[in-house]
Structure formats: structure tokens, C-alpha cells
Amino acid sequence: MSRAIVLGAGLSGVAASKLLIKNDIEVLLFDNNPKISIDKIKKSIYGKVKIKIMLENISDEDLNQVNLCVVSPGFPKTNSVYLKVIKKKIPVISELELGYLYGKGEVCAITGSNGKTTTVELTGSIMKKKYGEDVDVVGNIGTPYCERVLANNREMKYVVECSSFQLEDIVKFKPKVAAILNFSPDHLDRYGSFVDYINAKLNIAINMDSKDVLILNYEDQVLRDLVLQKGIFNCKTVFFSSKRTLTEGFYLYDDAIFYKDKSKTIKLINTNELKLIGNHNYENVMAAMGIAYFMGVSFVDIVDACKEFNGLEHRVEFVREKNGVKYYNDSKGTNPDAAIKAIDAMKGKILLIAGGRDKGVDYGDFIMKVKEKVRYLILIGEAKKKIAHKARDLNYNSVIFADTLDEAVDIANSYSNVGDNVLLSPACSSFDMFKSYEERGEKFKEKVMSLK
């Protein structure tokens, strides 16, 4: 019998373990989190249990019997057990790769620094117009690929959100259509450099060939330059652009989205027919349109689905209007580039609530955008002094510190004028003060709705 080690006992690791066990592979599940409930994991795994769960370390004797390692996306690669696996030259794959190997059907996939989840959800909604219940949305969006593969015993169309962590350890993962939305510095606390981070995301296309299609953002300088380098991509590339008319691809012009190829130009939709706002969201729409079109969905179904799509919670989400001031929740804006996009989406002046746990990034471009449109920058969390220091360096002085998110909302409420927007877009992760960006966003909305 084959034996695998799964690193990380969160949702992805447990789903991977279940899939391996179902395929008659014995599992060692390792996680050094002492809060993990061994009994709860065992109860969730059906059939005859072929799993050994370890929370401290794994002996050489156990590892000598292992011929595969599946690593969960959040598992640190500095961990001593992972380093032992590498030293013993045990093959390593990601949970994403495992799901792909056992899944049946076609795959389209999306990666990028910002906009992935919106694009994935919209792509899934469009695909369901044609393929109905044979579409499943999985991956970094919160549903492990392996979990849905277990549930689907038939040919499916998988729409997969891919983080850089998930793409680090793929071997055969090969989408029929994929999209790279953009690159901005992120997760530099994990990667040695921005180049390493980019290379991890580029793995999405490493196995794609001439029969496959890769959708790319023309306005991302890195992507534009990569296409000019022969041999980087072996598949057909199609661009989208929010700033210029393309000779081929999807583009935004005069408040409408068009598609152009060698034989035709088609006006697809006016932006005022969309419930999403901001050029960054129009880019997400074009990427989703491109993926769905090359996955076989008609433009009629694509446009209908785009008109119906409401957007996602915590992504420039309108909360309420009070006394002529609009409140928006963009708690998912966990890096400076995402926050810049949220700022650009606002019409009128902004009181911006930002800060949280720093991810080792530079806030220079963020502060330059703040100088253009933000009346007051209200800072919370561990990174507030670092962000404030950068603001002072760039001669922006309308900075206010708050100890809590509730206090930040009260400050914004008291300083705002009719026509202003109060925007939570932290440019940082949430883990200094909250369990997740979702919890941060919910707390923000609760406080905003309680304002008298």
C-alpha cells in the first residue's frame, strides 16, 4: 500500500487526506498546531481509518515509509518536518495538484495579486449559465479542490482560484483556460523577492500548450513584458485592457466593454449595466468574460450573467449611506495595490481606514494615491506607525491614529462631510486584531450600522 504525508491539518489538509484514503493510500497527517482536534478529524473521515495524526514531530522511521508529500497552502516551508521531507527527496505536491490528478473534467483557473475571488465567482456564475450543476468553484476561494473532487463522481467544469502558495508545488496541473490578473508585491514575508512571488504565480501556465488559452492584463507591465519574451508561454495569449483599444482581445472604451478579434468587433456591455464599480472591477469582468468565452459560453449568456452579478462581500461592498456619507467595506484589500484600486473606485473625497499586520511591503505608491483623494487617513493595527512614517516622508500629514476599528469608524463619522466616502481598505492582513479579513469586515459593518 502507498503511504503519503500531508502537511497541515486545516481544511485543505483534511480534504487531501480524505481523498488519499478513499484511493487506498495510508496517510500521516502532520500539523504542529496543538489546538488541532485529533478526534474531530478522525470523525470527519469516513470508512476504515487509515490515518495517523501527529502534532509534534515525525520520526525518520515514519518518513522512510512515505512516498508522497502533499503540502497545504499555508504550511511554512521553514518547518523542520518539511525540510526533512525535502532532504529525503520525497516527491512534494500541493493540495491543488492532488485535486487535479483525481478530478474529472475540464479546468479553468485564475491567479493574480488582486481581484482573484471576484473574478472566480463571476466566472463560475457565467459558466453555470451554460453548464448548470456541472460547474464547481474551488481552490483559494475557501473550498478545497480535493473536497469537491470527492463529492463529484462525474465530469465537471472546475473554476479554480489559485494562490501563489498553491501553485508552488504543481507537476501536471493544466488548465484549458487560465487568467493572470496582475502582479503587485505581496507575501514578501514568505518569498525571498518579488521575482520569486511572480514565478510562483506563473506556474499556472507552465503545462499549458497551443490548445490552451491564457488571458492576461495588458495594463500590467510585468505581463506585457513577459509576452514579448519568446518561449515564456507555450499557449495562445489573449489580453484585456481597461485603458486602451486592443487590436485583439477585451477592452474598455467610452464606458463600454468590447471584444475584438481578427474578423469582428462586438460591443458586449455598458459599465452602467454592471453592479460592480471601478476600473479594477471592469478588469475582473473582462477576465471572466474571456475565460468563459474560451470555455465555450456564448456572449449572450456571458452578458446576462455579468448584469446579474452582485459582487462579493468585503470587496468594495456598499454598507450604508448616513447623512450624505457613504460607507464601503473593502476588508479584502489586504495589500497596498488592492487598497489603491478601492480608492480609485470611489467618486468624491475619502476618509480611509487602513492598517493591520504588515506583510513586508512598501507603502509608497499607496500613500501617493492617498494624497490624491483621501482627506483623512485613519490608521489602526501593528502597521500604523510604519504607514504613518511613509506618509510623513511623502509630505502627507492628515493622519489620525485609532486604537480599535470601532474608534476608527467613530473618528471617520465625526470628520466626514456630505458627499464623502468612508472606506475600510486596510492594505494589510487582519491577523493582528482579527481572525480573518471576513471578521474584520463584519465588525466594520456592525459598527457602521450602529451609528446614530
Beta carbons within 8 Å of 59's beta carbon, 6+ residues apart:
none
DSSP letter for each residue of 373-426? HEEEEEE-STTHHHHHHHHHHTT---EEE-SSHHHHHHHHHHH--TT-EEEE--
pLDDT for position 134: 97
> What does the pLDDT look like over 196-232, one tens digit per residue?
999 999 999 999 999 999 999 999 999 998 887 767 8
Which of 299, 180, 281 lies closest to 239 in space, CA to CA? 180
Strand partners, 213: 177, 236
Cα dihedral: 356, 357, 358, 359 (round 10): -130
What mean pLDDT is predicted for residues 365-375? 97
> What does the pLDDT look like over 7-54, one tens digit per residue?
999 999 999 999 999 999 999 999 988 778 778 887 777 655 678 888
E strands within 51-134?
A: 51-54, 68-71, 92-94, 105-111
Instruction: Evaluate whether 335 touches 361 at the Cβ level (below 8 Å).
Output: yes
Map out the domains of the chain with their CATH numbers: 3-90 (3.40.50.720), 96-308 (3.40.1190.10), 317-450 (3.90.190.20)
Residue positions counted in the chain = 452
Beta carbons within 8 Å of 349's beta carbon, 6+ residues apart:
373, 374, 375, 417, 419, 420, 421
| Percent of the chain whose pLDDT exceeds 70 | 98
pLDDT for position 51: 80
Kindly report the backbone phi and psi dihedral angles of residue 3, in degrees, each rounded to the nearest multiple of 5, phi listed first. -135, 135
d(CA 221, CA 243): 13
Per-residue pLDDT at 1 exceeds 60: no
Cα dihedral: 258, 348, 434, 389 (round 10): 110
> What does the pLDDT look like over 248-283, one tens digit per residue?
999 999 999 999 998 999 999 999 999 888 898 999
Which of 171, 240, 232, 176 lies closest to 202 in space, CA to CA? 232
Other C-beta atoms lying within 10 Å of the C-beta of residue 231:
5
> What does the pLDDT look like over 47-92, one tens digit per residue?
556 788 888 788 888 899 899 999 999 899 999 999 999 999 999 9
Instruction: Evaluate whether 180 touches 214 at the Cβ level (below 8 Å).
Output: yes
Kindly report the backbone phi and psi dihedral angles of residue 428, in degrees, each rounded to the nearest multiple of 5, phi listed first. -145, 165
CA dist 399 → 187, 352, 374, 420 (Å)? 26, 10, 10, 17
Which of 376, 370, 359 lies closest to 431 in space, CA to CA? 359
pLDDT for position 47: 55
> What does the pLDDT look like over 155-198, one tens digit per residue?
999 999 999 999 999 999 999 999 999 998 766 667 778 889 99
Beta carbons within 8 Å of 241's beta carbon, 6+ residues apart:
217, 218, 219, 249, 250, 251, 252, 286
| Percent of the chain whose pLDDT exceeds 90 | 79
d(CA 445, CA 320): 9
| pTM as predicted | 0.80
CA dist 277 → 168, 328, 366, 371 (Å)? 32, 12, 20, 21
Which of 101, 155, 109, 133 lies closest to 295 in space, CA to CA? 109
| Cell reading at 36 | 488541532
pLDDT for position 46: 60
Instruction: Evaluate whether 357 touches 429 at the Cβ level (below 8 Å).
Output: yes
> What does the pLDDT look like over 91-145, one tens digit per residue?
999 999 999 999 999 999 999 988 899 999 999 999 999 999 999 999 998 899 9
